Amino acid sequence: MNSSRLFLLVLALFFAGKLFAQTQSGIAAGLKQPVAVFNNWSAYDPMSDNIPQTEELCMKLFDHLIRLKQHGVKVDYYLMDAFWFDRDGGYRKWDKKNWPNGPQRWIDACIKNGIKPGLWFSVNLIQAIEGNPMLNIIPEWQSSVTSDKEILSLFEGGYLNHLMETLQMYANMGVKMFKFDFAHFYNAATDAAKATTLPNEIEELNKQVFIQAIKKFRNKNPDIIFVGYNGFGGDIGNTVTPFRKTIDLRWLEIFETLYSGDPRISDLPMMNFWRSQDLYPDQMVQQFAFNGLPLSRIDNCSFMLGETGTCYKRGIQAWKGELILALARGGWLNVFHGNIDLLSDRDAEWFGKVQKTYMDLQKDGQTSIWGAIPQSGMPYGYVSSTKDGSLFTVVNPSQSIQRITLPENMTGKCRILFTDSGFKPSVEGRKLILGPEQLAVVGSGKYDTDEYAWGIEPDIHIPQSISPAKTVLSVIDNHTVVALCKPKKGKTLRIFFTQNDEAGIPYRSVGGSPPNGTNMDEIIKISAKQENKDLPLKIQYNKMIWSGLSWGAAEIDAKNIDFNQPVSITCISNDTESKNFKIEIYNVQYNNQ
């Protein structure tokens, strides 16, 4: 490196440190009150399903957003997620094919209807998402290009300054929220800088200049909201990594909220696929709280509707429980994603009532985490209280009926306001009785009224009874396990097959995304026989799961079982990287048996 280049780097380090050390007297980050945000991601997904984001789709969703709003759903922001931009436009031009007239129609419609528009930006990843090019380098960015040409340096060259000018351009057009994603700070530098600067020093330089740039922008535009997504900390890949400190709390100086991961499936095997997905954000919220984030600053990013692979083609299955938990977790950025067009007017009225109840509690009450760490398999939940009453939102993720002592906040008479179908939970004195994998909302005080009785989640059915079944296990080879089970008369058999790594920790296999991925039941396979006759299985994990899965679950309906013969259950993992395997079998009975 020549002497002038070294001098410039030292100067950059000096001024970045000086700026960061200064006492900030500008606009502090943090929402002043809870807000409701619609995000259109999962109604489209060009990375897996090849479903593009188009003006036609986004305006169709806008029309349905207005319909939902007219039926009581609160909508403060419409956030346009990724891939609105032209690949060659440096974020200043919109995709010519799908947005030939640019964004003005959408922005004007938002402002006219009292909705604030928001836009997605990558922090500095430009050249690869899932192996696909995202943005081409424009001349203004050339001096910030790193050797791999996939990420840009923030503390060198013209990229960051150009980006901030771009944000100002959109702020002047009426955009009021910016979502920042795919941040890469570690070792994000040109070859010249890497020759003289350690990777951790590069990371700090990138962080400091980015923080200062956003602070400067905030001071000029105090009504803009910033939210942080991938790249700002957190162990979000699975639910078994022990909690550890991974989040730099300086991000709370510039972001209203940090997200805790896109919806994934937990590593605790569950028969109800969507309830397992509920458990993942609950685990992540506890992890982020462990890192020192207030619940109000955690975006749990969990409510997604749609037919794309990003939300496992969920449609609107079990959406009511999904919404309740998304709101109950206490984050003030209340985001709902995707195909809201699938919700009826009646659904919207229900949505609006539940949303208002929890958002009022967020604003005027206090929310706290209750119970165990979700991945432990023991009951957990959230308590939200005001001086007039409390809501207790609780999940029993275990394979047993649990008697749960109500939190101290739940004083006086308590009422069950919402639960899954099947097992009917009850309150006996200070004890709440919940079935396996069951969600319930319990109200006390002002919430002990018919006004807050929200009914039943019809898409999740909880059994009336459950008990471990006696089994004999044998290993055929290192990836095949067979269980022999004597069925219990009148009972359905529930089967869990878990795969682990060498240390016995659940191991996720990934079959890829639609349309070319592999269904997980072809990788983690369960089959059952009686006297060489195949028994039909009920399964819910036969999906392409981009985030991976460490288990399979199945049930054999009692009506298909000969109770005079043993059942042979064979479990096979076709993932050669998995090492250790576990089978658990339960006798369960539903109220229709």
Taking only the tens place, the pLDDT of each residue in 236-268 is 999 999 999 999 999 999 999 999 999 999 999
Residues 6+ apart with CB under 8 A from 190: 144, 145, 146, 147, 153, 156, 157
pLDDT value for 19: 41
> Do the bridges between strand 480-485 and strand 567-573 make them parallel or antiparallel, or are there none, so unpaired?
antiparallel
Q: Which residues pair with 336 in a beta bridge?
A: 38
pLDDT value for 148: 87
Whether 7 has a pLDDT exceeding 80, the answer reads no
Whether 6 has a pLDDT exceeding 50, the answer reads no
What gap in Å lies between CA 465 and CA 587, rounded to an integer?
Answer: 8
Q: How confident is the model at residue 16 (pLDDT cuts 50, 70, 90)?
A: very low
Least confident range from 132-136, 314-318, 468-472: namely 132-136
The closest of 192, 308, 340, 207 to 544, measured between CA atoms, is: 308
273-290 and 319-328 helices cross at what angle (nearest 10)?
10
Q: Judge whether 254 and 218 are in contact, CB under 8 Å.
A: yes
Report whether the peptide linkage leading into residue 515 is cis, meaning its omega lies within 30 degrees of zero.
yes
Q: Which residues pair with 499 in a beta bridge?
A: 581
- Measured CA to CA in angstroms, residue 336 lies from 26, 340, 478, 501 at distances of 31, 8, 43, 35
Q: Judge whether 157 and 141 are in contact, CB under 8 Å.
A: yes
Residues 6+ apart with CB under 8 A from 7: none
In the chain, % of residues over pLDDT 90: 89
pLDDT value for 5: 40
Q: What is the mean pLDDT of residues 288-305?
A: 98
Q: Judge whether 226 and 214 are in contact, CB under 8 Å.
A: yes
pLDDT digits (tens, 9 = 90+) for 353-370: 999 999 999 999 999 999
Q: What is the mean pLDDT of residues 273-286?
A: 98
What gap in Å lies between CA 395 and CA 418, rounded to an integer?
Answer: 12
Whether 12 has a pLDDT exceeding 50, the answer reads no
Judged by DSSP in three states, 322 sits in helix
pLDDT digits (tens, 9 = 90+) for 104-147: 999 999 999 999 999 999 999 998 766 667 999 999 999 999 99
Torsion of CA 21, 26, 31, 32, to 10 degrees: 140
What gap in Å lies between CA 312 and CA 64, rounded to an integer?
Answer: 22
The amino acid sitting at 272 is N
pLDDT value for 129: 64
Q: How confident is the model at residue 593 (pLDDT cuts 50, 70, 90)?
A: low
Q: What is the mean pLDDT of residues 219-226?
A: 97
HSE toward the beta carbon, residue 158, CA cutoff 13 A? 11
pLDDT value for 132: 67
Whether 17 has a pLDDT exceeding 90, the answer reads no
Whether 399 has a pLDDT exceeding 70, the answer reads yes
What gap in Å lies between CA 88 and CA 99, rounded to an integer?
Answer: 14
pLDDT value for 486: 94
What gap in Å lies between CA 85 and CA 485, rounded to an integer?
Answer: 57
pLDDT value for 28: 79
Q: Which residues pair with 125 in a beta bridge?
A: 151
pLDDT value for 47: 82
pLDDT value for 448: 95
pLDDT value for 15: 40
- Measured CA to CA in angstroms, residue 349 lies from 73, 285, 557 at distances of 7, 28, 36
Q: Judge whether 49 and 312 are in contact, CB under 8 Å.
A: no
Structural domains of the chain ordered from first start? 30-364 (3.20.20.70), 371-462 (2.60.40.1180), 467-589 (2.60.120)
In the chain, % of residues over pLDDT 70: 95
Length of the chain: 593
Whether 49 has a pLDDT exceeding 60, the answer reads yes
Whether 372 has a pLDDT exceeding 70, the answer reads yes
Whether 18 has a pLDDT exceeding 60, the answer reads no
pLDDT value for 50: 85
The mean predicted confidence, pLDDT, of the chain is 94
Whether 73 has a pLDDT exceeding 90, the answer reads yes
pLDDT value for 102: 97
Q: What is the mean pLDDT of residues 540-554?
A: 97
